[in-house]
Structures are given as C-alpha cells and as structure tokens.
Amino acid sequence: MNPTARRSGIFVEHLPKEVILYDKSSDRVHCLSETAAAIWENCDGTRSEDDLARLIEARLGTPADRKLVLQALEELEKAGLLEAGHDLVSSGVMTSRREAVGKIAMAGSALVATIVAPAPAAHASSGKPDPPPPPPPIRHNPPDPPPKGPNPPGPKPPVTPPGGKK
Amino acid sequence: MLTIPPRGGVHVPGQGLEALDVTSVRAYGVRIEFRVPAPLLAHLPVPIVPGAEQGSRGPADAVISVRVDHTADGGTLYEIAENGTVLGMEASLQAAASVVESWAQLTVATLARGLVFVHGGVVGWQNRAIVMPGRSLSGKSTLVLALVEAGANYYSDEYAVFDSDGRIHPYWRPPKLRVASDQEAASRLLGGVVSGSPPLPITLGLVLISRYEAGSRWLPRQLSCGETLLGLLDNTVPLRLRPEESVKTLAKAVANAQGFEGMRGEAADFAEQALGLLRRV
C-alpha cells in the first residue's frame, strides 16, 4: 500500500525551508525538514516510494534517493503522521522492518523533530517541584479545549535537528 | 479592597468565622479575583501580577481562594484553590502567598488575550531581544542578570510576552533569585530600573537554548528556523489551549531571528558570548 499522510486534526505552518505541524490529537509539535515536508505533503496514497524519490529530485534538485524517502517515511510513521496501513516491508526492497530500520539508521540524521506541547502547569514557578495542573478556567466565551495533563516526568530532551548538522 | 463577611468562610473554633478579603486585578486582559484571609495580602507584591490594575470590575476569568484550616495539634494550614480546585496546602502565610502569586501569574500567562507568553528570560540589546527559554530552576534569572551586567537592558526573568506581530514586551517585575546573596545583587543592579517605566517592545534577535554544565564552554550549535521555533514552543504557556495562535505568533517572531543551542558554563562567560553572537546576527 502506498503511504498516505494523516492530515485530520493537524495544523500546518509553513516556514521558509521547513514545516511545523501541530497534532491536536496528541498535542505534539513536529518540525519537518524540507525533504520530510515535501514527502509528507505528497503522500496521497497514489505515489510509491519511487514516485516520491523522483518528486523530491524534481522539487529539491537532489538526486533521487529511495533510502532517504524510506527514512523520512519511517520517521513520519513514528511521529504518527501517516495513516495506518503503510508498511516499509511491503515496498519489496526491505526483507523485514528490522532490516529497513537498520539501513535507515545508517542513512543520516533525523528529518522530523518532535516535542510534546507542555501543559500550562509545566510552567508553574512556585519554587516547589511538581505542582498540580491548574483547573479549567472559568470561561465566558466559547471554551478552549482544556489542558490534557502535565508533561511526562523526566528531563527535557534536547531539540533534535531535522536535516542534520548545520 | 472590600472586607466582606465570609461566604463559605472559615470556622475557627471558639472564634467564629474568619474574615476573607476579596480583591481583584486585571492584567493583560485577564481578570482574577482573590478570596483570601486578610493577613495574607500583606505577603503579596503590589501589583500581584506585573502591569495589573487593582480592583477591576467585570466577570472573573479565574478565582483564587485560600481557606484556613486548623489541625488537631493546634497548627494552621492554608488550602489554596483556583476555581474551586485545590492546588495545594501550605503551613505558613508566606508560603501560601507565594503560591497565590505564582498561580495568578501563570493564569494570566495562560489566558492573556492576543498575547503569547513564553517561559524564559529576556534582555534587550541594540533594540533586539535575546530570549532564553526555560522552565523554573533552569537558571533564567542568573543569565538575565549576567547579561544586564554585561550591558543589556532588562526585560524579564520569567516570561517573554509576544504580541501578534511577534514583538516582545517587557514583563516588568523585579527579578527573583532563590539564593539570598544573588537576590541582593539583583536588587542592587535592578532595583532602580524596575521602579521606572518599562522599555518599549522590540523584535526578536536571538533565541539561546542552554543547559548548565560545570566547566563547560559555550560552543553552541546554530539552529534552523524550525528548530528555533520548536525551542520556543517547548516553553510556550498557552500552546495546548491556543496552538494556532501560538505557532503563528512565534513563527513571525523567529522569521528574522537566529537560534543557538548548547551546554553552557558560568553565566558571565555565556553573557559576553551571547552579546557577541547578537552583534553578528
């Protein structure tokens, strides 16, 4: 099955060379490199990995690289940005997902960087650790969606670079 | 301020009901009502939230209340709640006031209309802002003070306030440091500054994402535009409540800015290098 981008509940903001996606269903924010963004935007269920590689070559002027497309698809899938059903193994080149991931891991650095949107309570600064989340505010206008809970515990991960080193 | 008979007030055995004071503030378009024991007010700063008008009228966006409870062994506990949901218990008035202040400021940062609050320190340098996003205890205030000592203008040690054009407004309160000697130094350096008029809004120049590591030298990696935006969004207070407004506002702000990320050592060294970076951007 050809890959299909998941678009429902996703807010898109275009930057000069990257795309920011806010996934309202998971409260995650993704930064897609130029390559990953071009692939995501063209995953319409009709294009194969080879089609996408040729499209990237035409659009970005880089040589058609199926490995790069597979890497991007893997990262997009992990980020929940593809509809269920796409499987790299079905592409016919990879004999197993493990092999696919292994080859992809050698291909380069991340094309999709992701953070979990912090809940407002994560910003409390009473000087005490782990404050409780604030209650839903009293609203006199149509309500905003309430916070879905505090961030998972643990240290904040660094921002991982889409598209490799500068 | 109006002292009223307590509606749902506090029963102190043998003393009848304890009076609550009701006061309110409006800051950045958000109105908060406080229902607290009268003595607690003496422990709150004026204004409770930077830039707030006292005693405003209209429906409240949030109600913060403090209920006094007495323990079996004769102790006193202060139960702090927002909109009826308990936030925590404190054993002293001072500690309860600290929580009230913190939650009032967080509530304004969450609900402010037309503004996006990013948790971070801000200074101005040659009409451009340096924003250092970070949570509590990440060293924001220390970095801000080091930059001010190096010649930058103080804007905030708590929130970068972005308007819809992406410009940054001051969050005009005295810096707060947890170590007493640092707080004294901050008061000497900025005591006269924050009692004056706040500076004008400025555009974003630099976003510096750093973590302290003893002995480290600040050798940052330059971030792409998207990574810089992600670094701000990771510290954006209303992001979950207003994702589209937050992303669009901050995307405008980073359009002509540059971001850097890396480990840092001592604040003074970091400050000198940060100003050097802004000169080159």
Q: How far apart are CA A155 and CA A99, in angstroms?
A: 31
Q: How far is A95 from chain B, CA to nearest CA, in Å?
A: 34
For residue A10, pLDDT over 90 is answered with yes
Among A151, A109, A9, A163, which Cα is nearest to B226's? A163
Q: How far is B137 from chain A, CA to nearest CA, in Å?
A: 8
Q: How far apart are CA B228 and CA A29, in angstroms?
A: 13
For residue A153, pLDDT over 70 is answered with no
Tell which of A30, A33, A123 to mutate to test the B interface (max B CBs under 10 Å).
Answer: A123
- Cβ-defined contact of A159 to B223 (cutoff 8 Å): yes
For residue A93, pLDDT over 60 is answered with no
ipTM for the complex?
0.86
Q: Calculate mean pLDDT across residues B145-151.
A: 93
* Average pLDDT over all residues of chain B: 88
For residue A133, pLDDT over 50 is answered with no
Which chain A residues in 66-85 lie under 8 Å from chain B, judged by CB atoms?
A: none
Q: How far is A68 from chain B, CA to nearest CA, in Å?
A: 20
Higher pLDDT, B71 or A108: B71
Q: How far apart are CA A82 and CA A6, in angstroms?
A: 5
For residue A135, pLDDT over 90 is answered with no
User: Which residues in B lie closer than 8 A to residue A166 (C-beta atoms)?
Assistant: 221-224
* A157 inside 8 A of chain B by CB: no
Q: Calculate mean pLDDT across residues A4-11.
A: 97
For residue B139, pLDDT over 90 is answered with no
The values of phi and psi at residue A2, to 5°, are -75, 150
User: Which residues in B lie closer than 8 A to residue A138 (C-beta atoms)?
Assistant: 59-63, 83
* A12-26, B153-167, B171-185: least confident range: B171-185
User: Can you give the pLDDT at residue B257?
Assistant: 96
- Cβ-defined contact of B178 to A127 (cutoff 8 Å): yes
Q: How far is A7 from chain B, CA to nearest CA, in Å?
A: 15
Which ranges constitute the DSSP H helices of B124-266?
A: 140-149, 180-194, 225-233, 243-254
For residues B118 and B133, the answer to whether their CB atoms sit within 8 Å is yes
- Cβ-defined contact of A115 to B106 (cutoff 8 Å): no
What length does chain A have? Answer: 166
Dump pLDDT digits (tens) for B86-138: 999 999 999 999 999 999 999 999 999 899 999 999 999 999 999 999 987 77
How is residue B59 written in tokens? 């429906």
* A110-114, A157-161, B39-43: least confident range: A157-161
- Cβ-defined contact of A136 to B222 (cutoff 8 Å): no
For residue B153, pLDDT over 80 is answered with yes
- Cβ-defined contact of B61 to A140 (cutoff 8 Å): yes
- Cβ-defined contact of A127 to B136 (cutoff 8 Å): yes
- Cβ-defined contact of B60 to A27 (cutoff 8 Å): no
| Closest in B103, B221, B247 to A11, CB measured | B247
Count chain A–chain B contacts defined by CB atoms under 8 A. 157
Radius of gyration of chain A (CA): 19
**DSSP 8-state class, residue A153:** S
- Cβ-defined contact of B229 to A119 (cutoff 8 Å): no
CA angle A25, A27, A30 (to 5 degrees): 105
**3-class DSSP state of A151:** coil
Q: Please name the residues in contact with B73: beta carbons below 8 A apart, sequence gap of 6 or more.
A: none
* A22 inside 8 A of chain B by CB: yes
Q: Dihedral sign, CA of B50, B55, B58, B63?
A: positive
**DSSP string computed for A47-96:** --HHHHHHHHHHHH-PPP-HHHHHHHHHHHHHTT-B-TT--GGGGSS-SS
Q: Indicate the residue type of A32.
A: L
Q: Calculate mean pLDDT across residues B138-148.
A: 89
Q: With left for phi above 0 and alpha for psi between -120 and 50, is residue B220 left, alpha or beta?
A: beta
| Closest in A11, A18, A138 to B83, CB measured | A138
In chain B, CATH 3.40.50 sits at 115-280
Q: Quick one: how many helices (H) and strands (E) in chain A?
A: 4, 4
- Cβ-defined contact of A162 to B226 (cutoff 8 Å): yes
Domain B115-280 falls under CATH 3.30.70: no
Strands B128-133 and B153-156: unpaired
Side-chain-facing half-sphere of B56: CA atoms under 13 Å: 18
Strands B16-18 and B10-12: antiparallel
- Cβ-defined contact of A138 to B225 (cutoff 8 Å): no
pLDDT bucket at B189, cuts 50 / 70 / 90: confident
How is residue B155 written in tokens? 């804007």
Higher pLDDT, A129 or B220: B220
Percent of residues, chain B, with pLDDT higher than 90: 65
pLDDT bucket at B1, cuts 50 / 70 / 90: very low
